[in-house]
């Protein structure tokens, strides 16, 4: 067959067209195959995008406090602590130690499994983690808290969490302020009383105007505790005293000094002084601090870890009545609490969910209910002793100072009072009688031996004990 030039041109054009169509068909098949591979990968991703966003906030935060707030935002989600978490505790976020503390509201710890929550937030922050969360008891390993457990996340450079309730912006103290200033005070004012808040914690929380002046009312949550001041120790006087001389701090120091274990505390402080002075003298000019004289206050972290802790534990094993790494212990009964509040010029104590109590019979309040029946406040009294300890705790930087802490919440078990300022009818009846009443100076009733004897006698009668 003879092909003309035109025939050849047509043949070549048809061949090229068929090749282009084959290439296009193959390309479409390849795209379809790629789509089939990508699609199941997208279905496998089930990570909560909001949690991913919060985790990224933690990663991107430049300031350590910003990282703590990012974690707090995760903990505020309903599947974690929800509304039970207050937030990062002021002054307790330490970048150098990779340590964060979060405040939990009253009763919050009883509602949650903290270890489970830490495990889950660890999975959010470090999804490729290989090492599990490590838990340390108070004063164990890297945990410098003498009260709360610590949770360490190894794959996040040993990030450490503690969950407490103390501090100016969290836990029990914040809840106490809210109850005092946002509940009791405005409710008394609405009831028609001329009421004001106390200016600081050296005086009563709330005052109401009476015929003879003012009546102070301490306002407490059931888990209320004493303050935790920074202390110093005077070897010559064998006594603790506060770094900041104000009423509440002096009271706490005096309560500690009056405890039966004060001799053991003195012996332990002498051991600390002698061992640290020996090391500081050996260090010479390299020592950060000079040797102690009579006053013991600050020590370094190295001194605490290498000298103080081993020395105190050895002293405990030798038979000291003060346990562990504490330098002192103390117990406080209801009579001392009454004196403490009277010293703040209070005559009454209002405890949330428990009621209103008088601190001395001279401050007893009588009202009548809607049916005309008489109701009276009862004495502020409880069975359980408040216990506490004193130990060296981390302050700012690498410095350790002496701090007190209290354990136990006796107000949780205090007997309910017939009168409660949280009940509107009681509050109205209270407001109707108090403005026309007169009361003595609370401080004049401190250390009332007759009252203490009457209380002791009452408990003897209740126990069936006869003289």
pLDDT, tens digit (0-9, with 9 covering 90-100), for 352-372: 999 999 999 999 999 999 899
Q: Domain for residue 9, yes or no?
A: no
Question: Do 130 and 137 contact (CB within 8 A), yes or no?
Answer: no
Question: Do 230 and 401 contact (CB within 8 A), yes or no?
Answer: yes
Q: Domain for residue 26, yes or no?
A: no
More confident residue, 49 or 280: 280
Same-domain pairing of 88 and 202: no
Q: Considering 135, 164, 193, which residue would you say is the last residue of a domain?
A: 164
Q: Considering 137, 164, 191, which residue would you say is the last residue of a domain?
A: 164
In sequence order, the β-bridge partners of residue 13 are none
Same-domain pairing of 155 and 199: no
As a whole number of angstroms, the distance between CA 463 and CA 467 comes to: 12
Tally of domains in the chain: 2
Question: Do 111 and 85 contact (CB within 8 A), yes or no?
Answer: no
> Among 10-19, 160-169, 324-333, 452-461, which is the least confidently predicted range?
452-461
**Structure tokens that stand for 126 in this block:** 């470090």
More confident residue, 32 or 231: 231
Q: How many CB atoms lie within 10 A of CB 247?
A: 16
Question: 328, 268, 329, 272: which is closest to 300 by C-alpha?
Answer: 272
More confident residue, 23 or 353: 353
Res 408: pLDDT: 66
Same-domain pairing of 235 and 101: no
Range of the domain at 420: 181-467
Res 416: pLDDT: 95
Helix (H, G, I), strand (E, B) or coil at 327: coil
Residues of the chain with pLDDT > 70, as a percent, come to 78
Res 5: pLDDT: 64
Question: Do 329 and 429 contact (CB within 8 A), yes or no?
Answer: no
H-run or E-run covering 230: strand 230-234
Residue 207 φ then ψ, to 5°: -125, 140
Q: Domain for residue 34, yes or no?
A: no
Residue 215 φ then ψ, to 5°: -110, 120
pLDDT at 382 over 90: no
**What are the tens digits of pLDDT across the range 255-277?**
888 888 889 999 999 999 999 99
Same-domain pairing of 159 and 194: no
Same-domain pairing of 148 and 208: no
pLDDT at 3 over 90: no
**What are the tens digits of pLDDT across the range 120-139?**
999 999 999 999 999 998 77
Q: Domain for residue 395, yes or no?
A: yes
As a whole number of angstroms, the distance between CA 247 and CA 332 comes to: 17
Q: Name, in order, each residue with C-beta under 8 angstroms of 8's C-beta and a sequence gap of 6 or more.
A: none
pLDDT at 341 over 50: yes
> Among 376-385, 403-412, 431-440, which is the least confidently predicted range?
403-412
Q: How many CB atoms lie within 10 A of CB 162?
A: 21
Q: How many CB atoms lie within 10 A of CB 459?
A: 11
Question: Do 418 and 375 contact (CB within 8 A), yes or no?
Answer: yes
E strand residue ranges, 257-315:
295-296, 299-300
Q: Name, in order, each residue with C-beta under 8 angstroms of 25's C-beta and a sequence gap of 6 or more.
A: none
pLDDT band, very low/low/confident/very high, at 316 (cuts 50, 70, 90): confident
pLDDT band, very low/low/confident/very high, at 373 (cuts 50, 70, 90): very high
**What are the tens digits of pLDDT across the range 96-117?**
889 999 988 767 777 889 999 9
More confident residue, 467 or 350: 350
pLDDT at 422 over 70: yes
Question: Do 44 and 117 contact (CB within 8 A), yes or no?
Answer: no
pLDDT at 23 over 50: no
Residue tagged 């207050």 (tokens) = 86
Distance of CA 15 to the CA centre of its chain: 84
pLDDT at 27 over 60: no
More confident residue, 10 or 254: 254
Q: How many CB atoms lie within 10 A of CB 10?
A: 11
As a whole number of angstroms, the distance between CA 412 and CA 334 comes to: 13
Q: Domain for residue 36, yes or no?
A: no
Q: Considering 109, 132, 164, which residue would you say is the last residue of a domain?
A: 164
As a whole number of angstroms, the distance between CA 85 and CA 174 comes to: 12
What is the overall mean pLDDT for the chain? 81
**What are the tens digits of pLDDT across the range 389-418?**
898 988 766 688 998 887 667 788 899 999
pLDDT at 91 over 70: no
Q: Domain for residue 173, yes or no?
A: no
Q: Name, in order, each residue with C-beta under 8 angstroms of 407's C-beta and a sequence gap of 6 or more.
A: 147, 386, 387, 388, 389
pLDDT at 47 over 70: no
Same-domain pairing of 305 and 431: yes
Helix (H, G, I), strand (E, B) or coil at 7: helix
Same-domain pairing of 74 and 138: yes
Question: 259, 227, 254: which is closest to 446 by C-alpha?
Answer: 254
Same-domain pairing of 327 and 408: yes
Same-domain pairing of 196 and 237: yes
> Among 8-12, 181-185, 354-358, which is the least confidently predicted range?
8-12
Same-domain pairing of 149 and 270: no
Helices 247-257 and 334-343, axial angle in degrees (round to 10): 150
Exposed / middle / buried, residue 383 (Cβ in 10 Å: 0-12, 13-18, 19+): exposed
pLDDT band, very low/low/confident/very high, at 375 (cuts 50, 70, 90): very high
Same-domain pairing of 362 and 326: yes
Q: Domain for residue 250, yes or no?
A: yes
Q: Domain for residue 5, yes or no?
A: no
Question: To the nearest 5 percent, what fractions of the chain are helix, strand and coil?
Answer: 45, 20, 35
Res 39: pLDDT: 41
As a whole number of angstroms, the distance between CA 291 and CA 312 comes to: 19
Res 454: pLDDT: 53
Residue 105 φ then ψ, to 5°: -65, 165
pLDDT at 461 over 80: no
pLDDT band, very low/low/confident/very high, at 209 (cuts 50, 70, 90): very high
Same-domain pairing of 150 and 191: no
Q: Determine the average pLDDT of the residues in 177-206.
A: 80
Q: How far is CA 39 from each of CA 26, 33, 36, rounded to the nearest angstrom? A: 20, 10, 6
More confident residue, 151 or 165: 151
pLDDT at 280 over 60: yes
């Amino acid at each position: 067959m003879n092909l003309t030039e035109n025939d050849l041109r047509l043949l070549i054009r048809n061949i090229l067209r068929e090749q282009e169509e084959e290439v296009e068909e193959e390309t479409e098949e390849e795209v379809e195959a790629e789509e089939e591979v990508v699609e199941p990968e997208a279905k496998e991703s089930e990570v909560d995008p909001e949690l991913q966003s919060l985790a990224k906030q933690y990663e991107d935060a430049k300031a350590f406090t910003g990282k703590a707030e990012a974690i707090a935002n995760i903990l505020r989600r309903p599947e974690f602590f929800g509304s039970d978490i207050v937030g990062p505790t002021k002054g307790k976020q330490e970048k150098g130690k990779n340590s964060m503390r979060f405040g939990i509201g009253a009763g919050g710890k009883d509602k949650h499994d903290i270890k489970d929550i830490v495990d889950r937030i660890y999975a959010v922050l470090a999804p490729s983690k290989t090492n599990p969360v490590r838990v340390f008891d108070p004063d164990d390993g890297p945990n410098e808290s003498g009260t709360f457990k610590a949770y360490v996340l190894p794959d996040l450079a040993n990030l450490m969490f503690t969950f407490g309730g103390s501090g100016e912006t969290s836990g029990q103290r914040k809840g106490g302020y809210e109850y005092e200033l946002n509940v009791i005070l405005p409710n008394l004012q609405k009831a028609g009383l001329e009421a004001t808040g106390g200016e600081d914690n050296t005086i009563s929380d709330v005052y109401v105007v009476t015929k003879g002046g003012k009546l102070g009312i301490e306002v407490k949550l059931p888990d209320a505790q004493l303050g935790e001041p920074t202390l110093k120790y005077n070897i010559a006087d064998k006594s603790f005293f506060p770094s900041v001389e104000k009423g509440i701090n002096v009271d706490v120091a005096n309560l500690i000094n009056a405890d039966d274990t004060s001799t053991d505390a003195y012996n332990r402080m002498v051991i600390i002084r002698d061992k640290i002075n020996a090391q500081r003298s050996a260090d010479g000019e390299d020592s950060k601090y000079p040797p102690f004289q009579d006053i013991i206050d600050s020590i370094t972290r190295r001194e605490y870890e290498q000298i103080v802790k081993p020395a105190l534990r050895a002293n405990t094993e030798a038979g000291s009545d003060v346990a562990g790494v504490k330098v002192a212990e103390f117990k406080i009964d209801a009579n001392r609490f009454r004196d403490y509040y009277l010293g703040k010029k209070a005559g009454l104590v209002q405890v949330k969910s428990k009621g209103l109590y008088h601190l001395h019979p001279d401050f007893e309040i009588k009202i009548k209910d809607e049916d005309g029946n008489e109701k009276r406040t009862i004495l502020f009294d409880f069975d359980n002793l408040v216990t506490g300890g004193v130990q060296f705790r981390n302050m700012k930087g690498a410095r350790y100072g002496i701090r007190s802490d209290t354990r136990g919440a006796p107000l949780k078990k205090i007997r309910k009072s017939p009168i409660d300022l949280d009940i509107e009818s009681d509050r109205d009846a209270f407001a109707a009688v108090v403005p026309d009443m007169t009361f003595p100076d609370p401080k004049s009733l401190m250390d009332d031996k007759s009252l203490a004897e009457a209380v002791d006698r009452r408990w003897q009668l209740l126990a069936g004990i006869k003289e």
